[in-house]
Every structure is written in C-alpha cells, then in structure tokens.
Amino acid sequence: MPVDKECETKQRLHQLKLSGLKATVMESSGSRGL
C-alpha cells in the first residue's frame, strides 16, 4: 500500500522535526540557564 508508506514517511519526518525542535529548545534554554 503506497499510501500507508507515504503516511509512515511523513510521520517519521514529523517526529524528526519535533525531536530536532526539542533539541534546539533544550539547547537554547540550557544556555539561558532555564
């Protein structure tokens, strides 16, 4: 099912973006001492 694979890939990309954002936020807040 190509649709399922496409959806899976989008979900993975979304998770990667989220984890990337979290890492960035943690880094910036860490340097701010929060």
Torsion angle, alpha carbons of 8, 10, 16, 17, to 10: -160
More confident residue, 33 or 12: 12
Q: Mind listing the pLDDT tens digit for each residue in 4-24?
A: 899 999 999 999 999 999 888
The answer to whether the predicted template modeling score (pTM) of the entire model surpasses 0.85 is: no
pLDDT at 30 over 90: no
d(CA 12, CA 6): 10
pLDDT at 3 over 80: no
Residue-level pLDDT at 2: 67
d(CA 18, CA 32): 21
Encode the chain in three state secondary structure: CHHHHHHHHHHHHHHHHHHHHHHHHHHHHHHHCC
